[in-house]
Amino acid sequence: MQNYKLQLQPAVLKNGTKYKMIQITDLTLHTNKRSTQNVAKKIGEAMERQESGRIYSKLGKQDDAESHAITMTLLRNDPEFVKMVQKEEAKGYKILIGFPKKGIPMRLGKDVHDFIDSKNGQRLIRGLAKEKSKD
């Protein structure tokens, strides 16, 4: 299955097919979190426990800043996640990734709020304002 691709499209549920849902609830932005080393393992553990979980990833520059696109890019680019999906499909499960209808809420973590309120954060904000006024 070398040409295996994850696709973002509306689910068409079929009778007799078993499904497992990965529900994306929110994106929280932090100042400095270490990326989750094995996204597939964390998601797999959360699915086994039937509990929510959290993964961390660095955001790169995105052509498309849609939260759906950011999330799918993260998952598509993780070979271990793709292997996990393939294993679940081999067991007879179809993996669905659920997104909120109004888009994924994006929040600032407490550490970001703390930084913004700090002296360095205020300097950064003033610097950005100066750059913006030059444009």
Specify if 62 maps to a domain.
yes
Q: Is 31 domain-assigned? A: yes
Which of 2-11, 14-23, 59-68 shows the lowest mean pLDDT across its residues?
Answer: 59-68
Range of the domain at 30: 18-108
The dihedral formed by the CA atoms of 73, 102, 93 and 58, expressed in degrees to the nearest 10 = 30
Residue 129 lies in a domain: no
The pLDDT tens digits for 49-63 are 888 888 877 666 555
The reply to whether 57 falls in a domain is: yes
Give the DSSP H/E element, type plus range, for residue 121.
helix 119-134
Is 73 buried (19+), middle (13-18) or exposed (0-12) by CB count in 10 A?
middle
Between 53 and 70, the more confident residue is 53
- Any domain includes 73: yes
For the entire predicted model, the pTM comes to: 0.66
If you average pLDDT over every residue of the chain, what do you get? 81
Query: Is residue 132 domain-resident?
Result: no
106 forms beta bridges with 27
Residue 8 lies in a domain: no
pLDDT for the residue numbered 1: 47
Number of structural domains the chain divides into: 1
CA-to-CA distance for 108 and 111, rounded, in angstroms? 8
